[in-house]
Amino acid sequence: MKTTKPRQQQKSSLRQKTYFFSDAHLGIGSPEEDRQKELRLIRFLNSIQQDASQIYIVGDLFDYWFEYKTVVPKKYFRLFSKLAELTEQNIRLFFIAGNHDFWMKNYFHDEFGMEVHFHPVEAEICGKRFLIHHGDGLLKDDLGYKILKKILRSKTNIFLFSLIHPDIAGWLARWSSHTSRRYTSNRMYESTGMVDFAARKIHEGFDFVVMGHNHVPTYQTIESGVYINLGDWILENTYAVFDGKEMKLNKWTD
């Protein structure tokens, strides 16, 4: 007699892929553009939830995120509901804070069961060594950002910012982000700093180095390893997937 596995066990056996995406920067653009990007992300998550065992969000999901003790942005309810649904289906979610959304506390962990990391993550997946890093601070000729990073991550400055009313704080953060983007859009940053970093880590024994941050989708073989930059979800809609044997960089479309 042919036996059938329980439905839950069947679903579990199908979930064997690890997905990576970064740099959605929710909050930039017009309200309609932002809503469409949120819905696009949700459709992407819908499309992968049947075979995903784990999903890494590799930074800058938001263009601005500041988490007060009792207040979070009221937008993105649909996305938050989707994240909660994924963890309820035993899909592991990892959030590696980027340079735009590092002011996080325990909301994503407590409400959605996500694993939140403020530093690069080393992981072993199906016998392969991964280094997963947002990528900020690695670009060459970016001393200004490295100084700004220390200022923004100062506990004193975070406390002082938390005293500002959320509406005013949000306006200040959006203005700052817009000003910064106008400045950086006029500069050409060398990606060699990120590639050099990836090469060093691969030489140390990592099989895959996965990053985001500079919004340039990249798949580059280095020695016996691979460096991947995930691109973004502003223009590129790119993501990476590892099926246990092969790593691919794909572009998602409806």
Query: CA–CA separation, 235 vs 238, rounded Å?
Result: 9
Task: Please report the pLDDT score of residue 171 as a whole number.
Answer: 66
Q: Of 74-83, 122-131, 169-178, give the range with the top mean pLDDT.
A: 122-131
- Three-state DSSP class for residue 229: strand
Instruction: Tell me the torsion sign for CA atoms 233, 139, 95, 209.
Output: positive
List the strands of the sheet with 128-133, edge to edge: 121-125, 128-133, 208-211, 225-229, 218-222
| pTM (2 d.p.) | 0.83
Q: What is the dihedral of CA 171, 176, 182, 185, to 10 degrees?
A: -120
- Residue 40, both tokens: 């696009």
Percent of the chain whose predicted confidence (pLDDT) is above 90:
55
pLDDT digits (tens, 9 = 90+) for 198-253: 999 999 999 999 999 889 999 999 999 999 999 999 999 999 999 999 999 999 99
Query: CA–CA separation, 221 vs 225, rounded Å?
Result: 6
Which of 67, 148, 58, 56 lies closest to 104, judged by CA? 67
Question: Taking all residues of the chain, what is their mean pLDDT, rounded to a whole number?
Answer: 83
What is the band of 65 on the pLDDT scale with cuts at 50, 70, 90?
A: confident
Task: Please report the pLDDT score of residue 183 as a whole number.
Answer: 43
User: What DSSP character marks residue 99?
Assistant: S
Q: How many Å from the N-terminal Cα to the C-terminal Cα in the chain? A: 41
pLDDT digits (tens, 9 = 90+) for 157-193: 777 767 777 777 766 666 556 555 544 444 444 567 8
The angle subtended at Cα 75 by Cα 104 and Cα 151, nearest 5°, is 30
Residues 224-237: b if buried by 16+ CB within 10 A, e if exposed: ebbbbbbbbbbeeb
In this structure, are residues 3 and 43 in contact, taking their beta carbons and an 8 Å threshold? no
- Residue 110, both tokens: 């407590």
Task: Please report the pLDDT score of residue 41 as a whole number.
Answer: 97
Task: Please report the pLDDT score of residue 70 as a whole number.
Answer: 76
Q: Which helix (H) or strand (E) holds 57?
A: strand 52-57
Task: Please report the pLDDT score of residue 245 as a whole number.
Answer: 92
The residue among 189 and 38 whose pLDDT is bigger is 38
Q: Which helix (H) or strand (E) holds 248?
A: strand 247-251
Cβ within 8 Å of residue 173, ≥6 positions away: 64, 66
Q: What is the dihedral of CA 46, 132, 14, 80, to 10 degrees?
A: -30
Which of 138, 48, 126, 143 lies closest to 86, judged by CA? 48
What's the rounded mean pLDDT across residues 134-153?
A: 68
Task: Please report the pLDDT score of residue 186 as a whole number.
Answer: 43
* Superfamily in which the 14-251 domain is placed by CATH: Metallo-dependent phosphatases (3.60.21.10)
Query: CA–CA separation, 30 vs 42, rounded Å?
Result: 19
What's the rounded mean pLDDT across residues 69-81?
A: 84
What is the band of 8 on the pLDDT scale with cuts at 50, 70, 90?
A: very low
Q: Which helix (H) or strand (E) holds 14?
A: helix 7-14
Q: Of 13-17, 75-79, 160-164, 189-193, give the range with the top mean pLDDT.
A: 75-79
